[in-house]
Amino acid sequence: MTVRIVKVDSEKCQGHNRCYAMAPAMFKVDEFGYATPRGDGVLKTEQDLELARRAVDNCPERAISIEEHDEA
């Protein structure tokens, strides 16, 4: 089974807030606006995956990625 995890590269994030605005249940931002995934970032459903892909597509800093791992 493939496990997908959404990640935010904190070196690249400049706090544009696009991810949090479109998926507040998936991302959180600190008082400076920098984003991190909520919890472990594991995308459990197709809707989660869809939403994460949209966040990737809209981040101007290309700070968001979706990692895939194969698990037995």
Give CA–CA dist 32/29, Å, rounded. Answer: 8
CA-to-CA dists, residue 38 to 1, 8, 26, 72, angstroms:
22, 11, 5, 25
Q: Is 17 left (phi over 0), alpha (psi -120 to 50) or beta?
A: left
Contact partner, 21, from ligand SF4, another protein, none, Cβ < 5-8 Å per class: another protein
Contact partner, 35, from another protein, ligand SF4, none, Cβ < 5-8 Å per class: ligand SF4
Say how many residues touch another protein, by CB under 8 A.
19
Contact partner, 23, from another protein, ligand SF4, none, Cβ < 5-8 Å per class: none
19 DSSP assignment: H
Question: Which positions from 7 through 36 interact with another protein, judged by CB under 8 A?
Answer: 14-18, 20-22, 29, 31-33
Where on the chain is the footprint of another protein (CB under 8 A)?
14-18, 20-22, 29, 31-33, 54, 57-62
